[in-house]
A and B are shown apart, each in its own frame.
Chain A
Amino acid sequence: MTQPLKVVVVGNGMVGYKFCEKLLTKVGGGLFSITVIGEEPRPAYDRVHLSAYFSGTSVEELTMAPASWYAEHGIQLLTGECVVKIDPAAHYVQTHTGLQIPYDKLVLATGSGAFVPPVPGVEKEGVFVYRTIEDLDAIIGYSKGATRAAVIGGGLLGLEAAKATLDLGLETHVVEFAPRLMPRQLDAAGAGMLKRKMEALGIQIHLNKNTSQFDGGAAVVGLSFADGTSLEVDMVVISAGIRPRDELAKQAAIAVGPRGGIVVNDQLQTSHPDIYAIGECALHQGMIYGLVAPGYEMAEVVANNLVQGPTVKEFKAFDMSTKLKLIGVDVASFGEPFCEQTPHDTIVVEDKLKGIYKRLNVTTDGKYLLGGILVGEAENYNMLLQTVKNRLVLPPNPEDLVLPARKGDGASAGAGVAALPDEASICSCENITKGAICQAIEEHNLPDVAAIKKCTKAGTGCGGCVPMLSDLLTETLKKQGKVVKKVLCEHFDYSRQEMYHLIQTSGTRTYDEVVAKFGKGCGCEVCKPAVASMLASIYNDVIAKQAVIQDTNDRFMANIQRGGTYSVVPRVPGGEITPEQLIALGTVAKKYDLYCKITGGQRVDLFGARVEQLPSIWEELLEVGFESGHAYGKSLRTVKSCVGSTWCRFGVQDAVGFAIRVENRYKGIRSPHKLKSAVSGCTRECAEAQSKDFGIIATDKGWNLYVCGNGGIKPQHALLLASDLDDETCLKYIDRFLMFYIKTAEPLQRTATWFNKLEGGMEYLRDVIINDSLGIAAELERELQYLVDTYHDEWRVAVETPEIRARFSHFVNVEEPDPTLEFVEMRGQKRPADW
């Protein structure tokens, strides 16, 4: 057996830790013996979220992994141990306690320290930096005797420190040398907006201030500036930049940059090939990356190259886009925020009232996004960043990407995560792609964002991508749901829409033919009723001819009830019913001992009929002119109607008359799910048409047509499709609408759900239905007219066809009712016994 390779890591910060984690996942231990030496007294913690310590997040919560994690994975962790010497020739490092640790490969992850400007008095009591938990403890301790604090540095870290001192209840001043805040990320206008916001929160900002001296005796009492002004404070936090920790490298004669930083090549090797440098201490192509994401990528490159050999993976210049919330203010800059060298046009949105500034840099042809700045609102940051990174072509009006969403027909800003390619990096901290995340969601059935974080590590860094994770989850689940629904079931590899087309063009008329031709196996309770519905929508044949593929209610053309009896609901178009019919209902109910109830759909439901009684009951109802009400079918239920102009003093059209016409036109048509409609005689809307799949409301010029409403489980108002239609046009649009829905919806999808998934929304639907943008209007009308022309009352057919009628029996070997049926009395009628 070969000796495991000795890997020694100097520095147990975020990147040093990440390197261990990455190396382990690549080899799972064994091949390497890993030693990590950190100077801080505790294992690596999340420095990015250091400020959370102020608001009560514990050290444990911030810790990347507890000491036990290192032990469990065979990593030797030395904390509180500072490496003071590297001997590159003899291949060992030495710590301040004299420990000598040999290595085959050395990884320097020493990070950086705060840059402390050499200003007189900087060593005074009450002057702090902001980098470690110890720094924070010291700041918290000292703040108890202080009332005013200054933060030197108006960059990203400085503003974070300012928030900390503000939270500690101190009067807070930010002193910045440059003429604006966050000079590396923001332009003058963006920085101006940020300044206003900060000031509104009570932070005083001093720009163009060059600190010349820290005033006071032993303890600091104020700052003096080069312009002769001064500021009285009790404590100072210096956050004027970072200085890479390259002292070890220097000592070992490893090349460092002129302004600090350990020089590395694309493999992140230092001038000594067995020594690597990663994270904030590394100087790559003249650049120190002061962010965690590039550090993690460096860890990945080195771990990868140690396992697979050098040159396999190279570190490439890294995107420095950032988004952060500074004291409740969103700030982001991405891509090329300034575009100083690149020809571009800018789109700027500025709302001083709301404190929002947004700038997009767009190529001069308007096609691509180069970068931008967001202050005050950065919701779209992730999408914008991905648009830059993946060179996605911009929509025709790129300003929509930064304008507040306009009211109206949901023209959504950008195409959302769905538009991103699989390679798009979603979590830039951990460098995890959209593809990897979606795959993990699918493979491990991840139910929520927490599970995604756990499984993929995405979102565990800065957390900025969490909203996108949630979008991806929704998208993937939707897709999965669609996969389940998209293919009908295990017996058919087609979506409903594809099946519809196949059945229609092949002329297959029975389920057996359809499964033989397009499917496999014996079918199931999912595909049978779905195919039955399609066959009915296409051919409108008598459904009882293929009874065994119908859902139970359709098989016996009645709704099955608790206990196993059925209900009878005759159609009452428009709610208009003759006295003879009312009497017949009573007579039948009495004769068969049925429970009677007026339904919510303005008709009467007779409950408690035994299966063998159904044909006789219907026979008697047919005699007085009743027809099936299709209360059991995925088909038109009722067209509810108010009384309308014939009686009502407000009515402007004959609602009942039109409702009857509508109900009689569409009755019996089978659809993906049930259809409900209503007609109201005026805008008071007593028929509740706006809660229906298609609803009609009278105007003094005609009818307003609303579509895709829903009551039920998830109520949704119908939307206006067209206004002031005459009778014929209204029916024409309904014809087209219904047929379009019937042909394209998923099984058991009501119009509202169908609409919600329809890309392009109402504008698109209107285009198809009214402007015939797909050129299918005539075909839709023809197909619907066929269904109208082939209408038959299926209960009449059943009653009059002996073979069908014979099927209505409980037993096939004896003529007896089900002896187990049990009823109890309730308010003078019967109901089934409890189950």
Chain B
Amino acid sequence: MNNQPTTWFKAAPISAFPENGGACVKYNDKQIAVFHFKQLDKWYATDNECPHKHQMALSRGMIGDQQGHPKVACPFHKKTFSLETGLNLQGEDYCINVYPVKIEDGFVFIGI
């Protein structure tokens, strides 16, 4: 988990991202998955790579909540990760990096 972002990366306009789903942005050599929960007006960003089999796929996963806690399910084997902590929710050892997101002037910024 990152605490204090050093850089706010201007990723793309809000309209580039699906509602209640995810999409991937490229930042230098990094792939970052961005998720938008429309009803809650919440944005989350994580690594795009699933640590299970190192697939660049989390942005294509389905999002939702587990007991109110936001999560994403990897499309490959349905491992689920907390979007707040990056921890695997099945209690396995994998975890992903999460990044802060802010919205300004209709743009999505990711803190890296």
Check if B92 is an interface residue, CB within 8 A of chain A: no
Binding site secondary structure of chain A: loop
Contact A835 B55 (CB under 8 A): yes
Contact B26 A816 (CB under 8 A): yes
A107 to B19, CA, bound (A): 74
Instruction: Give chain A nearest CB distance to B111 CB in angstroms.
Output: 16
A560 to B78, CA, bound (A): 13
Cβ contact of A835, chosen from B54, B62, B75, cutoff 8 A: B54
B7-64, CB < 8 A from A: 11-12, 16-26, 31, 37-40, 53-57, 60-64
Check if A598 is an interface residue, CB within 8 A of chain B: no
Instruction: Give chain B nearest CB distance to A522 CB in angstroms.
Output: 4
A547 to B75, CA, bound (A): 14
Contact A551 B62 (CB under 8 A): yes
Q: A812-B17, A835-B55 are in contact. Are A524 and B26 (CB under 8 A)?
A: no
Contact B56 A820 (CB under 8 A): yes
Mask: chain A, 524-565; 1 = CB below 8 Å from B; 0 = not: 110111000000000000000001110110011000100110
A813 to B110, CA, bound (A): 13
Q: Which of A555, A556, A811, A818 has the most CB of B within 10 A?
A: A811
Which residues of chain A are near B66, meaning CB under 8 Å? 490, 524
Contact A521 B75 (CB under 8 A): no
* Cβ-closest chain A residue relative to B53: A835
Q: Count of B residues near A, CB < 8 Å?
A: 39
A529 to B62, CA, bound (A): 9
* Cβ-closest chain B residue relative to A550: B62
Cβ contact of A525, chosen from B26, B40, B56, B64, cutoff 8 A: B64
A706 to B25, CA, bound (A): 50
A524 to B31, CA, bound (A): 24
Check if A344 is an interface residue, CB within 8 A of chain B: no
A551 to B77, CA, bound (A): 12
Which residues of chain A are near B53, meaning CB under 8 Å? 835
Q: Which of A491, A563, A564, A812 has the most CB of B within 10 A?
A: A812
Check if A290 is an interface residue, CB within 8 A of chain B: no
Q: A524-B64, A524-B65, A524-B71 are in contact. Are A813 and B56 (CB under 8 A)?
A: no
Check if A807 is an interface residue, CB within 8 A of chain B: yes
Q: A522-B37, A835-B54 are in contact. Are A552 and B21 (CB under 8 A)?
A: no
Contact A522 B78 (CB under 8 A): no
Check if A123 is an interface residue, CB within 8 A of chain B: no
Mask: chain A, 811-825; 1 = CB below 8 Å from B; 0 = not: 111101010100000
Q: A490-B66, A563-B55, A812-B17 are in contact. Are A524 and B73 (CB under 8 A)?
A: yes
Check if B70 is an interface residue, CB within 8 A of chain A: yes
Check if A810 is an interface residue, CB within 8 A of chain B: yes
Contact A556 B54 (CB under 8 A): no
Instruction: Give chain B nearest CB distance to A821 CB in angstroms.
Output: 8
Q: A548-B20, A811-B25 are in contact. Are A521 and B56 (CB under 8 A)?
A: no
Check if B88 is an interface residue, CB within 8 A of chain A: no
Contact A548 B62 (CB under 8 A): yes
Which residues of chain A are near B76, meaning CB under 8 Å? 560
Check if A199 is an interface residue, CB within 8 A of chain B: no
Contact A812 B62 (CB under 8 A): no
Q: A560-B76, A812-B17, A835-B54 are in contact. Are A522 and B26 (CB under 8 A)?
A: no
Instruction: Give chain B nearest CB distance to A500 CB in angstroms.
Output: 21
Contact A522 B40 (CB under 8 A): yes
Q: A523-B65, A814-B26 are in contact. Are A564 and B56 (CB under 8 A)?
A: yes
Check if A61 is an interface residue, CB within 8 A of chain B: no
* Cβ-closest chain B residue relative to A611: B60
Contact A521 B64 (CB under 8 A): yes
Check if A448 is an interface residue, CB within 8 A of chain B: no
A184 to B68, CA, bound (A): 65
Mask: chain A, 512-527; 1 = CB below 8 Å from B; 0 = not: 1000000001111101
A813 to B71, CA, bound (A): 23
Mask: chain A, 785-822; 1 = CB below 8 Å from B; 0 = not: 00000000000000000000001001111101010100
Q: A812-B25, A816-B26 are in contact. Are A525 and B12 (CB under 8 A)?
A: no
Which residues of chain B are near A563, meaning CB under 8 Å? 55
Check if B4 is an interface residue, CB within 8 A of chain A: no
Mask: chain A, 289-309; 1 = CB below 8 Å from B; 0 = not: 000000000000000000000
A490 to B53, CA, bound (A): 28
Contact A560 B24 (CB under 8 A): no
A562-577, CB < 8 A from B: 563-564
Q: A525-B73, A812-B24 are in contact. Are A490 and B60 (CB under 8 A)?
A: no
Contact A547 B63 (CB under 8 A): no
Contact A524 B62 (CB under 8 A): yes
Q: A564-B57, A813-B11, A814-B26 are in contact. Are A522 and B65 (CB under 8 A)?
A: yes
A491 to B66, CA, bound (A): 9
Which residues of chain A are near B37, meaning CB under 8 Å? 522
Contact A547 B61 (CB under 8 A): no
Contact A522 B70 (CB under 8 A): yes
A577 to B38, CA, bound (A): 46
Check if B80 is an interface residue, CB within 8 A of chain A: yes
Cβ contact of B75, chosen from A523, A560, A811, cutoff 8 A: A560
* Cβ-closest chain B residue relative to A835: B53
Which residues of chain B are near A548, meaning CB under 8 Å? 18-22, 62-63
A361 to B39, CA, bound (A): 66
Check if B6 is an interface residue, CB within 8 A of chain A: no
Cβ contact of B12, chosen from A813, A816, A835, cutoff 8 A: A813
A667 to B11, CA, bound (A): 41
Q: A522-B37, A522-B40, A552-B75 are in contact. Are A528 and B62 (CB under 8 A)?
A: yes
A704-751, CB < 8 A from B: none
Instruction: Give chain A nearest CB distance to B84 CB in angstroms.
Output: 13
Instruction: Give chain B nearest CB distance to A576 CB in angstroms.
Output: 34
Which residues of chain B are near A527, meaning CB under 8 Å? 64
Cβ contact of A528, chosen from B11, B38, B64, cutoff 8 A: B64
Contact A522 B11 (CB under 8 A): no
Which residues of chain A are near B57, meaning CB under 8 Å? 560, 564
* Cβ-closest chain A residue relative to B19: A548
Closest 7 CB pairs of A and B: A548-B21, A524-B64, A552-B75, A525-B73, A812-B16, A525-B62, A522-B65
12 inter-chain pairs at a CB distance below 8 angstroms, sorted by A residue, are A512-B39, A521-B68, A524-B64, A525-B78, A548-B63, A551-B75, A552-B60, A555-B60, A560-B76, A811-B26, A811-B31, A820-B56
Q: Knowing that A524-B66, A818-B56, A835-B53 touch, tell me 17 more A-B residue pairs with CB under 8 angstroms.
A: A512-B39, A521-B68, A525-B73, A525-B80, A548-B62, A548-B63, A552-B61, A552-B62, A552-B75, A560-B75, A564-B56, A564-B57, A810-B24, A813-B16, A814-B26, A818-B31, A820-B31
